[in-house]
A and B are shown apart, each in its own frame.
Chain A
Amino acid sequence: MDLALAHETLARWQFGFTTVYHYLFVPLTISLAALTAGLQTAWVRTEKEKYFRATKFWGKLFLINIAMGVATGLVQEFQFGMNWSAYSKFVGDVFGAPLAMEALLAFFFESTFIGLWIFGWDRLPRKVHLGCIWMVSIGTFLSSYFILAANSFMQHPNGYRIAANGRAQLTSISKVLFQDTTLAAVFHTLAACFIVGGAFMVGISAYLVLRARRQPLEERDGTKIATIRTSLRLGLWTALAGGIGALLSGDTIGRVMVQQQPMKMAAAEGLWHTAAPAPFSLFAIGSLHQGRNVFEFNIPGLLSFLSYHDFHSPVRGIVDVARQESTQFGGEWQHYVPDIFESFWAYRGMITFGMISVAIAVAGLWLTRQKRWIDPRFRRPETELPLLMLTRERELSPFLTTWAWRIALLTLGFPLIGNALGWLFTEMGRQPWVVYGLMTTADAVSPNVSVTEQIISLGVFAVLYGALAVVEVRLLIKYVRKGIGDEPPPSHEPLPRGPLSPESDDEPLTFAY
């Protein structure tokens, strides 16, 4: 292989691999922080034990996740400099600013208050302790905002000029932070995060239901079952809300994308030539050399509608955009075409995997309605887990009920796949550009890093991340299997412990590593 090509390929593989891996934990962290904070708020307000137990249970899973999210996030911040130093020098003036803001305004929040939350159960007044998890949650939101602002600059450079030394120079921070690309991306990404968190909650609750159904009636713990039910319903609603948000914001992103990155939309659709009205392709097999699809199945006019909200506006095709870019920037037009196969299928995969979970959430919400699932006329609600009901009188058979829970459990991973594919599409659809229209990915790599060094680091990360994945999954399984805890909620406000008589208080800590 050509050495220059190997250089770029290795850096891209490393970025793609570490980013997708990091992004397995990010959406869960963002959504679980908010959901845990919500559950703890419910506990503080109502003093119902089920909310306390749910807070503890989901909080624990959240902590296992955030550790990995934080650890792998470090790599992201370093690797722009390590593998992409030419890129860093070219856009650091613009791109570095939101990154530094993320650290100063968001990450400090998250990391400081997480320590206070974990260790503060018996140290802080109840409401202050609750405030800590909300601060963590706000920190995760702000983090995603700044990171997406930086990424949106790469998708649609804005608020900059090219200086005399050939580098990008920031001219307006508000154009970077508040451009439509950023806002749409933030909304869409956060919505997608909540599909992930909702489905995670649904899946694990479904597992807990399945297990509780196997227990004899007398061994069941009413509070636990109430906790599971609350979590399940919360998860279902969250996934549905996330789904609606993702659809609405996805529509906005689509229209912004047609304007700003016509190639990405064309690639997503396998639309080789400009068409009016443009069809939405459900399925296509194409070929770059021929510049057309060998086989396709289309819905006429739908792409025009998605792009412009009418059924006949022209949507620009791959070949036309590529030809225009090659006249503008030089070189063969084929050079300006991203991987169509990847873009086309990643785009469809993102939508499909995300929406399956939302569809299941809708079905789940209907099947577990309050009046159907626990109807006092039929059963003792404290101890019994009934079959899923279709109507007030008709229940699903035991077989179908069990399968319904299994399917709910299975969907846990779907939105994660959807999220990963969404990012692959966003980043790969921009190729060959690293900053759209300004710098190609090939020009962005560190000139002074050897292929050997890159291979070493890629290998090290592969081994390390692989091993950590095994540990993480096993820990999650262990804690899910343990189920909802028995720990009773603290009955009184924690007493302030002063430094005046530090050694007189020898009670063990409620939480210690």
Chain B
Amino acid sequence: MYLHDFWFLLIAVLWTGYFFLEGFDFGVGVLLNLLARGETERRVLINTIGPVWDGNEVWLVTAIGATFAAFPSWYGAMLSGFYLPMLLILVCLILRVVAFEYRAKRDGERWKRGWEQCVFWSSLLTSFVWGAVFADMVHGMRIDRAGDYIGGLGGICTPYAALGGLAFTVLFTFHGAVFTALKTTGEIRLRARGLAMRLGVLALLVVTAFLGVGQAERGDGWSLAALVAAGAALIASLAVNRLGREGWAFLGSGVAVAAVIAALFLSLFPNVMPSTLDPAWSLTTANASSADYTLKVMTWVAVFATPLVILYQGWTYWVFRKRIGIQHIPAATAGH
């Protein structure tokens, strides 16, 4: 295995980590408007992810940073090619960070409602745009001889991208609902479980459609296996959710997220951004990557750091493993 193929794998793992983790906190954000009734319940939802969303987001920073280091041409083509979608994602993520921190820092219905709406819309839009971006990348784009995307906004806003966006949004919302059922107690837990059933069925439909189209276009045996795994994990998650086994259901929705990302990366490989103009102009793991020395250095760093990160992030989840309910929400917040 070439080092650049290993790094393709590692970047796929980083994106999987990102969508597995931030997937559920995006989902919880969307549930603010879908599930929560009243301010206290919205606060319960926000506090289920309170201690962890910031750490979750670093998986994105690392995925992008690792792409920069290992595949500079991919990094450049992707971010300049998806200029406006990336701008939208940035705006959403900025508002989201600030919303979590600032929401409780002042009293007043309008202030709090405003930031809650920021959390909802930014979670929804970011999920959607990431889905669309990955759909476009897998589908192939108008990449020119120099390795730059030249198709403009029209080449990005395709029906397939919309399907990808929808698939990510529904899948993450389902993932978030299962997480909410796992992390809460009382009435909100039961409602989350109920909503998860409906979202799960919807996710099963949209995700299979999305991956199915991708499979027909440029899939192989491996990506087909990932597709099947995604579907099976969703069905299994739904079944155990019905039985009220929330931990297993969350594992199922997480595996589904991982399988979807795996299917996308498997259909991409060995390309990273296939060109629809001329297959010879496609960016591949070989022609978009850094030289071996950089990859070696980065491999050492990754081998040392990744287990450490998983260890201390895992510990965070352990420290905050307790379920929370409306009784745990302190009355006054302004002052924190």
Contact = CB atoms under 8 A, between A and B. Distances in A.
Contact of B297 (A91, A116, A173): A173
Contact of A111 (B54, B64, B65): B54
Contacts of B222: none
Contacts, number: 265
B148 A63 contact: no
If over half of A's interface residues share one DSSP class (helix, strand or loop), that class is named, otherwise mixed; here it is: helix
Interface stretch (B70-78, B165-173, B248-256): B70-78
B80 A100 contact: no
Interface in B288-336: 290-291, 293-294, 297-298, 301-302, 305-306, 309, 312-313, 316, 319-325, 327-331, 333, 335-336
Interface residues of A, number: 86
B93 interface: yes
Contacts of A75: 90, 94
B312 to A, nearest CB: 6
A399 to B, nearest CB: 35
Contacts of A448: 80-81, 144, 148-150
Interface in A83-115: 83, 85-86, 88-97, 99-105, 107-109, 111-115
Interface stretch (B98-106, B227-235, B260-268): B98-106
B77 A85 contact: yes
Interface string B50-64: 111111011001101
Nearest to A95: B68
B333 A497 contact: no
A86 B298 CA distance: 22
A171 B292 CA distance: 10
Interface string A475-512: 10011001001000000000001010011011111111
A475 B106 contact: yes
B301 to A, nearest CB: 6
A112 B144 CA distance: 40
Interface stretch (A64-72, A259-267, A327-335, A345-353): A64-72
Given A81-B68, A103-B65, A71 B93 contact: yes
Q: Which of A167, A468, A497, A513 neighbours the largest number of chain B CB atoms within 10 Å of its CB? A: A513
B79 A78 contact: yes
A86 to B, nearest CB: 7
B28 to A, nearest CB: 12
A233 B42 CA distance: 42
A112 B328 contact: no
A89 B98 CA distance: 32
A74 B328 contact: no
A105 to B, nearest CB: 6
A94 B81 CA distance: 22
Given A447-B148, A457-B87, A506-B328, A96 B47 contact: no
Contact of B75 (A81, A107, A478, A503): A81
A497 B52 contact: no
B327 A506 contact: yes
A411 interface: no
Contact of A163 (B50, B104, B291, B323): B291
B6 interface: no
Given A115-B55, A509-B328, A513-B43, A88 B68 contact: yes
A60 interface: yes
B213 interface: no
Nearest to A487: B335
A96 B65 contact: yes
Contacts of A81: 64, 68, 75-76, 78-80, 86
Interface in A192-239: none
A456 interface: yes
A165 to B, nearest CB: 9
Nearest to A118: B51
Contact of B87 (A94, A460, A508): A460
Contact of B328 (A102, A471, A475, A512): A512
Contacts of B80: 81-83, 85, 446, 448-449
Contacts of B225: none
A83 B327 CA distance: 49
B247 to A, nearest CB: 11
Given A78-B79, A104-B302, A107-B58, A513 B46 contact: yes
Given A107-B58, A509-B328, A70 B97 contact: yes
* A-B complex: 3 closest residue pairs judged by Cβ atoms: A92-B72, A81-B79, A96-B69
Given A96-B68, A100-B65, A115-B53, 7 more contacts: A79-B79, A88-B76, A92-B290, A97-B294, A448-B81, A479-B105, A485-B335
